[in-house]
Amino acid sequence: MSLFDSDSYYDEETTGRSGNIKEKIKECKEIISQGQVLLNQNLLEDVLEDCFELFRFRDAYSIITALLKITPFDSELWAMKGICHASFGEQEKALKCFNKSLSISPADAEVLMEKAASEVFLGKLEEAKVTFQKSLKLDGMKDAAYFRFGLILQKKGLDEESVYYFEKALEYNPEHEDAQFHLAACHENLGNLNLALDMYDSYLCLEPDDENAWYNRAIVLEKMKQYEKAIDSYEMAISLDSRFDDALYNLGRLLFNLQRYDKSMVYFKKAIRLDKDDDVTWFMLGAANLALGKYRHALKYLDKSLALNPSADEPYLDRGMCYYKLGLFNRAIKDLGEAIKKNNYNDEVWLEEPSPVLDETDLLKIREFEKRVVLGRKELTGMVAVYRRTFQYRKALDILKRLYRIRKKDPGILQQISQIYYLMGCPKSALLFLLKAMELDNKVYERFSNLLPSVAISDLFLSLSTDTSIFNRNKWRKND
């Protein structure tokens, strides 16, 4: 049995032809430890076959090692040892075992194919093609051989290379179902959507009850912007498997994008019944309710999404928009601040948390600074960085406010004040100074948009940035 013939490297089954596999493996280990391998060779070989059928390669490996000590020129055992190494991701060792097997039995098409697979995974593509051709000359089933090598290439992510071998398999057998399915997937990955659709259609003529093919076909149609046909294809997949959660979610998302919010929620709710811990589906339910103006319903779903995944930023933006629509501006601004902080930043981004390390240089700078009375702007700016790095945000803010009184129309100072307020957990003041900086210099907004695109284009940010009345306390709800 080849490792590359299956997508699963392990099976939960415990019963093989030789009996309960766990008990038999335990028995084999005792036989090996007692040095009784030769007397129990047949039993060990039977258990070895079961291990391979159940993808228990670790257990198989110990039995193979023991058997090779008494039959070192058994080509099949060397091939099986190679398959074990391949399953462990040890392709170099696998290749050595396959070469050893072929040195004993050079005309073994199966082992040649295994060798070709290891060469592919080691990046030795041209060598693999030569090895495959050797295997092909010995293999009577050309369609199966071409398909298998195509599958090996596809698993390595070499879709363009795979196409040729799947097409060759179909030349020998035009109704090779698996070749059609995998060729369609290759064309889809390569962006050849018309070819992918044609191939899925051909496959479905042979296998009309394959829900995965209907699902993949729907994805292709969606990419081609043939949305109604995509909806029909998703529905076919769901009719064949009512618990197909990916199809349920994708159909819900497509309907949401088409602004059919009520219908989208039907599928999101079906998907959530199958996986109640899927934060993305909870979020989409919240987004659909928000779009329908059902803000309190939306809050319920968005709270659930954030409880499952508090590091996401989009639920904060949508929840903040619900609060904004309900007149709860303080909460809306707070959620905007959370969304900003949830994004990933590099060193140049102003909301990055400073390093917690306080070195001696920082201490000396602070002591020297605090003794002096008159300082230039350059020195003050440098101390802002030191105070930020040492978490002394209030002192950093005091310096920035001194600079602000001198240069009220300096967008850089306003932006830094905004940064400090966000780090201090004061999102309202942070937003106020950020908007002032953007008003003075459009480059501040451009930089903000580049660093935080999802925030910058969100309805929440656009609403808060244009509604200046939100900073009027009289407008706020009492329960905010």
Say if 441 falls within a structural domain: yes
Say if 383 falls within a structural domain: yes
Say if 442 falls within a structural domain: yes
Say if 389 falls within a structural domain: yes
Q: What pLDDT sits at residue 161?
A: 95
Residues linked to residue 20 through DSSP beta bridges, in sequence order: 15
pTM (predicted TM-score):
0.80
Domain count, the chain: 1
Say if 181 falls within a structural domain: no
Query: Could you tell me the residue range of the domain that residue 373 belongs to?
Result: 360-451
Low-confidence ranges of the chain (pLDDT < 50): 1, 3-12, 344-359, 362, 373-375, 474, 476
Token pair 């097409």 is found at: 167
Domain at 435, CATH number: 1.25.40.10
Q: What pLDDT sits at residue 16?
A: 53
Euclidean distance between CA atoms 175 and 167, whole angstroms: 11
Say if 478 falls within a structural domain: no
Say if 255 falls within a structural domain: no
Say if 310 falls within a structural domain: no
Q: What pLDDT sits at residue 221?
A: 98
